[in-house]
Chains A and B, each alone.
Chain A
Amino acid sequence: MNLLSLSGNLLLTSFILYLISTGFFAVATSGKKGPSRSGKIAFSLAIVGFAAQLGYFFTRWAGAGHVPVSNLYEYTTFFGMMMVLGFLIVYGIYRNNVLGLVAMPVALLVIAYASMFPDEVQPLIPALQSVWLKIHVTTAALGEGILAVSFATGLLYLIHATDFNKESKTRTWLEVVMFSLVCVVGYILVGLLFNGLGTNSTIEYVAKNGATMQHEYTMPVLTGPENGKIISGSGAVIELPNFLNANKVNTVLWSLIGGLVLYILLRFVILRKRLAESLKPIARKIDLETADEISYRAIAIGLPVFILGGLIFAMIWAQMAWSRYWGWDPKEVWALITMLFYVFYLHMRIQRGWIGKKSAWLCVGGFAVIMFNLVFVNLVVAGLHSYA
Chain B
Amino acid sequence: MMQQEYKQLDMRYEEAELRSKRKNQSWIDRTWTFFSSVKVGLWLIGLIIIASGVGTIFPQEMYIPQAVPPEEFYGKEYGTAGEIYYALGFHNLFESWWYIGLITLLLLSIIIVSIDRFFPLYRALKKQPVIQSDRFMGGQRFGAEATGTVKQIDAIEPLLKKKGYKIRRQDGALLAEKQRFGRWGPYINHIGLVLFFGGAMLRIVPGMHEDELMWIREGETLPVEATDNKYYLENNSFNIEFYDPAKEPEKFREALKRAGGSVPKNYDTQMTLYKKTGMTEDFKPKLEKVKSGETAVNQPFEFGNYQVFQEQYAADPEFKTMSFNIENQKTGKVVDTIKVDLRNPQETYKLKNGYDVELKDFLPDFVVKDGKPTTNSSRPVNPAFVFTIKSPEHPKGERSLIGIKLNVGGDENQYKMGFAGTELSNISGVRIKKDLTLPFLFAGGMIFMVGLLLGMYWPHRRLWLKERNGQINIAGFTNKNALGLQKEVNLALTEVGLPQLEDRQKLREEGEMK
The interface stretch among A49-57, A77-85, A269-277, A321-329 is A321-329
Q: What B residues does A341 contact at CB under 8 A? A: 49
A383 close to B263 (CB less than 8 A): no
Query: How far is it, in angstroms, between the C-alpha of A343 and the C-alpha of B63 when the chains are bound?
Result: 29
B38 close to A351 (CB less than 8 A): yes
Q: What A residues does B76 contact at CB under 8 A? A: 208
Q: Out of A121, A129, A130, A325, name the residue touching B251 (CB < 8 Å).
A: A121
B297 close to A129 (CB less than 8 A): yes
Query: Contacts A303-B456, A321-B297, A337-B52 given: A352-B38 contact, CB under 8 Å?
Result: yes
The interface stretch among B325-333, B363-371, B478-486 is B478-486
Query: How far is it, in angstroms, between the C-alpha of A335 and the C-alpha of B261 when the chains are bound?
Result: 31
Query: How far is it, in angstroms, between the C-alpha of A300 and the C-alpha of B186 when the chains are bound?
Result: 12
Q: What A residues does B503 contact at CB under 8 A? A: 289
Q: What B residues does A130 contact at CB under 8 A? A: 298
Q: Which residue of B lies closest to A331 (CB)?
A: B56
Check: B123 CB closer than 8 A to any chain A CB.
no
Check: A12 CB closer than 8 A to any chain B CB.
no
Q: Out of B53, B60, B256, name the residue touching A337 (CB < 8 Å).
A: B53
Query: Contacts A123-B255, A350-B12 given: A344-B267 contact, CB under 8 Å?
Result: no
Q: What B residues does A322 contact at CB under 8 A? A: 309, 311
B453 close to A377 (CB less than 8 A): no
A122 close to B252 (CB less than 8 A): yes
Q: Which residue of B lies closest to A3 (CB)?
A: B251
Write out, one digit per residue, whether chain B residues 170-182 have a CB within 8 A of any chain A CB (1) or not (0): 0000000000000
Query: Contacts A344-B42, A344-B49 given: A381-B297 contact, CB under 8 Å?
Result: no
Check: B441 CB closer than 8 A to any chain A CB.
yes
Interface of B is mostly: helix
Query: How far is it, in angstroms, between the C-alpha of A340 and the C-alpha of B46 when the chains are bound?
Result: 8
Q: Out of A121, A208, A308, A337, name the residue touching B449 (CB < 8 Å).
A: A308
Write out, one digit per residue, whether chain B residues 258-285 have a CB within 8 A of any chain A CB (1) or not (0): 1100011111000000000000000000
What's the minimum C-beta distance from A71 to chain B, rounded to whole angstroms? Answer: 8
A297 close to B298 (CB less than 8 A): no
Q: Which residue of B lies closest to A289 (CB)?
A: B506
Which residues of chain A (368-385) have a CB below 8 Å from chain B? 377, 381-383
Q: What B residues does A23 contact at CB under 8 A? A: none
Q: What A residues does B255 contact at CB under 8 A? A: 118, 120-123
B252 close to A297 (CB less than 8 A): no
Write out, one digit per residue, whether chain A residues 93-137 have a CB within 8 A of any chain B CB (1) or not (0): 110000000000000000000000010111101110110000000
Write out, one digit per residue, whether chain B residues 52-66 have a CB within 8 A of any chain A CB (1) or not (0): 110111011011010
What's the minimum C-beta distance from A98 to chain B, rounded to whole angstroms? Answer: 16
B259 close to A340 (CB less than 8 A): no
B56 close to A377 (CB less than 8 A): yes
Q: Which residue of B lies closest to A307 (CB)?
A: B452
Q: What A residues does B56 contact at CB under 8 A? A: 330, 333-334, 377, 381
Q: What A residues does B38 contact at CB under 8 A? A: 347, 351-352
A320 close to B55 (CB less than 8 A): no
Query: How far is it, in angstroms, between the C-alpha of A333 and the C-alpha of B58 when the chains are bound?
Result: 13
Check: A206 CB closer than 8 A to any chain B CB.
no
Check: A20 CB closer than 8 A to any chain B CB.
no
Q: Out of A121, A337, A348, A351, name the residue touching B49 (CB < 8 Å).
A: A337
Write out, one digit per residue, whether chain B residues 70-109 have a CB within 8 A of any chain A CB (1) or not (0): 0000001111001000000000001000000000000000
Q: What A residues does B65 contact at CB under 8 A? A: 209
Check: B39 CB closer than 8 A to any chain A CB.
yes
Write out, one digit per residue, whether chain A residues 268-295 have a CB within 8 A of any chain B CB (1) or not (0): 0000000000000000000011000100
What's the minimum C-beta distance from A378 to chain B, rounded to whole angstroms? Answer: 12
Check: A64 CB closer than 8 A to any chain B CB.
yes
Query: How far is it, in angstroms, between the C-alpha of A122 and the C-alpha of B481 when the chains are bound?
Result: 44
Query: How far is it, in angstroms, between the C-alpha of A321 and the C-alpha of B506 when the chains are bound?
Result: 52
Query: How far is it, in angstroms, between the C-alpha of A69 and the C-alpha of B184 when the chains are bound?
Result: 37
What's the minimum C-beta distance from B309 to chain A, rounded to whole angstroms? Answer: 4
Query: Contacts A63-B251, A307-B452, A323-B431 given: A344-B297 contact, CB under 8 Å?
Result: no
Check: B351 CB closer than 8 A to any chain A CB.
no
Query: How far is it, in angstroms, between the C-alpha of A121 and the C-alpha of B259 when the chains are bound?
Result: 12
Check: A231 CB closer than 8 A to any chain B CB.
no
Most buried by B among A4, A323, A343, A383: A323
Query: Contacts A120-B254, A323-B431 given: A301-B456 contact, CB under 8 Å?
Result: yes
- Can you report 12 residue pairs joining A to B where beta carbons are below 8 Å apart? A118-B254, A120-B254, A121-B252, A123-B265, A129-B266, A304-B453, A323-B300, A323-B311, A328-B60, A334-B56, A344-B49, A381-B57
User: Interface residues, chain A, CB within 8 Å of chain B?
Assistant: 4, 63-64, 93-94, 118, 120-123, 125-127, 129-130, 208-209, 241, 243, 288-289, 293, 297, 300-301, 303-304, 307-308, 312, 315, 319-323, 325, 327-330, 333-334, 336-337, 340-341, 343-344, 347-348, 350-352, 377, 381-383
User: Interface residues, chain B, CB within 8 Å of chain A?
Assistant: 12, 38-39, 41-42, 45-46, 48-49, 52-53, 55-57, 59-60, 62-63, 65, 76-79, 82, 94, 243, 248, 251-252, 254-256, 258-259, 263-267, 296-298, 300, 307, 309, 311, 431, 433, 438, 441, 445, 449, 452-453, 456-457, 480-483, 503, 506, 509
